Structure 1
Amino acid sequence: MLSLKRIYTTIGLVILTVVLIIVAFTTWYTVDESDQAVILTFGKAEEAITEPGLHFKLPWPIQNVEKLSKETFSLQFGYEAKDGEIKDFPNETKMITGDENIVLADLVVQWKITDPQKYLFNAENPQKILYDSTSASLRSIIGSSKIDDALTSGKAEIEADVRELLSSLVEKYDIGISILAVKLQDVELPNKDVRKAFTDVTDARETSNTKINEAQKYRNQKLNEAKGEEEAIKSRAEGEKTARLERARGDVAVFNELYDEYKNNPDITRERLVLETLEQVLPTAEIYIMNDDGNTMKYFPIRQMEKEQPKPPEDEGSEENE
């Protein structure tokens, strides 16, 4: 009996020691800054723990801890980059565009776990659901796009549409995942000859756009020059208009003065106007003032006297100054 009691006592001590060890090692856990944890009480998920540091819980098997990363994950669709090597999966990336052309399109999706409870329990394999949703979203958007948009300038719009559709699908499946970004890696044609032909078409389009831009630049330059010339002509016309108006006003003022003099002394004014007109019409003709008092005609040679009159001596001082 004593030996059996000792055996029971020893077994009890062993069991107690095991229980104490389990309690000692399973009643606490740590959460890193890059992790988040979910407490499971008899398999039922409690609220998530996101604060880093040391935390306590009930011992196993009452409560367990599931840790998930808070970092951003990358989903590579259509290829796999591993150890510096890239492996393509053309069967997954081959799809048809809206204008019935075949293209190869692959992309990368940036995502993270935002609801650990849903990620753990709402789906058996949430990453597989995400992959299939990415494939469906990309094929749907490419299927409604033209090949020119998929290969050239429409990639940004395709990325935005794929992200919007993929986010709506993930939200509908409610698997605790959020989509951060979608980036098309390569969109190309499956045949080399077709790729070359399309490249030639793209180069021709770029050359055409360049020529159009150059023509537009030349057109703008000529328009600016024409506008400048137009402004110069208008400015000269305004100046000529002002000058003619001023001359007209001056002529009117002179005419009014002559008219006043004519009213006071019509004969004298008439003779003066005749003489001034003759000087303008016949500038080289000599004019004589004559007096006819009968048989003898006398005149006063004013022009000849002006010619014979000696010139005054030049000032020596002025010559020295010159």
Structure 2
Amino acid sequence: MVSLKRIYTIVGLVLLIIILSIVAFTTWYTVDESEQAVILTFGKAEETINEPGLHFKLPWPIQGVEKLSKETFSLQFGFEEKDGELKEFHADTKMITGDENIVLADLVVQWKITEPAKYLYNADNPKEILYSTTSASLRSIIGSTKIDDALTSGKAEIEAEVRDLLSSLIDKYDIGISILAVKLQDVELPNKEVRKAFTDVTDARETMNTKINEANKYRNKRTNEAEGEKKALISKAQGDKAARIEIARGDVAVFNKLYNEYKNNPDITRQRLVLETLERVLPGSEIYIMNDDGNTMKYFPIRPLEKEKPKTQGEGSDNNE
């Protein structure tokens, strides 16, 4: 019969082996580069470990470890894509715009866990909170947006406003999540007939904008041409002005010179001016200088003398012979 002492010894050894095994296997842990860990001391979150590698802690049940991913997650709101199949949830995406039109809007939210302890213990289901908050944020922004902006050029502004509102709400809930980006996937009308009517309106608006752009282009072209012509005329006028000023200055200089001559010899200068004026007014006419003494009019022929050619020296030698 086995003694009680031997039984106690065996049980003690077994317990010691179990304790040593627990200590050996629960005092160390590894953190991958894509992971982050939370150290729990008697169930209370104490420290967050972000550095990858081998780490040590107190054995279980004193301390435990919870590991979470550091990757960026995608929340698909209003649809689910799995194994190449797309499943839509129109009940979530149907909403009313600010001008009381119905649209279907779905989006993707990029988020990551930035505070693991809060993510683990501040909420029972952070992903569900994120989904509901995304729905509330999108409906709030769409509800204050006109349908034209939601379907055309206002998508970027809607994304920015949804991201800001969603981030502020998530910060208030304090669930350890950070919003990285919000991307609208589709904003469309609920049925084909409405979509076709809106497409026709959009095409007409684009045609109108094209015509307006062409008109503005033509106006700018004509305006530039008119500006060029105006500058050319101004430049020409300034050139004519400068030329006329120079001519006037030359005329003033000539007049001053004549005036000085006139002061020295008024009779001669007056007669010269008369003759020069006659030659200018009556070009090619015969001019005679006449002297009338009351009895006989005598004149001095100028043109015949100008036309008469002087005899050369050779011609005079012949005559002498």
- Tell which deviates more after alignment, 126-135 or 63-72: 63-72
In structure 2, runs of 5+ residues without a counterpart are 313-321
The residue correspondences of 1:251-270 to structure 2 (distance < 5 A) are 251-270=251-270
* TM alignment of 1:186-201, pairs within 5 A: 186-201=186-201
The offset of 1:290, in angstroms, is: 3.9
TM-score by length of 1: 0.88
Distance in 2 between residues matched to 1:185 and 1:170, nearest whole Å: 22
Greater alpha carbon shift after TM alignment, 121-130 vs 16-25: 16-25
Instruction: State the Cα distance separating 1:115 from its structure 2 match.
Output: 1.2
CA–CA distance in 2 between the matches of 1:258 and 1:298?
Answer: 30
Q: For structure 1, which segment, 132-141 or 150-159, has the greater mean C-alpha deviation from structure 2 after superposition?
A: 150-159
CA RMSD of aligned residues (A): 2.4
Deviations 1:105-155 (A, max 9, x none): 111111111111111111111110111000000001100111111111111
Q: 1:166 to 1:311 in 2, by over 3 A?
A: farther
Which sits farther off after the overlay, 81-90 or 26-35?
A: 81-90
The match for 1:235 is: 235
Q: Distance in 2 between matches of 1:108 and 1:311?
A: 117
Q: Deviations over 1:243-284 (max 9, x none)?
A: 222222222333333333333333333322222222122113
1:216-231, aligned counterparts within 5 Å? Answer: 216-231=216-231
Counting only pairs closer than 5 Å after superposition, residues 138-177 of structure 1 correspond to structure 2 as: 138-177=138-177
Aligned residue in 2 for 1:318: none
Distance change in 2, residues 1:270/1:45 (3 Å): closer
Once the two structures are superposed, residues 207-248 of structure 1 have per-residue CA deviations (whole angstroms, 9 ceiling, x without a partner) of 322332332233223222222222222222222222222222
Contact 2:40 2:47 survives alignment (8 Å):
no
Q: Give the match for residue 64 of structure 2.
A: 64
Aligned position for 2:39: 39
Distance 2:127 2:20 in 1: 39
Which range is displaced more, 298-307 or 107-116?
A: 298-307
Kindly provide the CA deviation profile for residues 133-191 of structure 1, in whole angstroms up to 9, marking residues without a partner as x. Answer: 00000001100111111111111111111111111111111111111111111111112
Bigger shift: residues 165-174 or 280-289: 280-289
Deviates more, 1:44-53 or 1:248-257: 248-257
Letter of the 1:19 partner, please give it.
I
CA distance in 1, matches of 2:293, 2:116: 140
273-282 or 108-117, which moves further after superposition?
273-282
Matched residue of 1:2: which SS?
coil
Matched pairs, number: 312
TM-score (norm 2): 0.88
What letter matches 1:230 in structure 2? Answer: K
**Structure 2 SS opposite 1:249:** helix
303-312 or 16-25, which moves further after superposition? Answer: 303-312
Structure 2 CA distance for aligned equivalents of residues 161 and 209 of structure 1: 27
Three-state SS of the structure 2 residue aligned to 1:237 is helix
The structure-2 alpha-carbon separation of the partners of 1:39 and 1:283, relative to structure 1 and needing over 3 Å to count, comes to same
Gaps of 5+ in 1: 313-322
Corresponding position: 1:247 with 2:247? yes
Where in structure 2 are the equivalents of 1:91-170 lying within 5 Å? 91-170=91-170
Change in 2 beyond 3 A, CA 1:173/1:293? closer
Deviation at 1:311, TM superposition (A): 11
Distance 2:90 2:125 in 1: 24
Which position in structure 2 is the counterpart of 1:279? 279
- Rounded to whole Å, the distance in 2 between the matches of 1:159 and 1:310 is 108
Show CA shifts across 1:92-116 (max 9, x none): 1111101001111111111111111
**What residue number does 2:182 align with?**
182
| Counterparts of 1:264 and 1:35, CA distance in 2 | 115
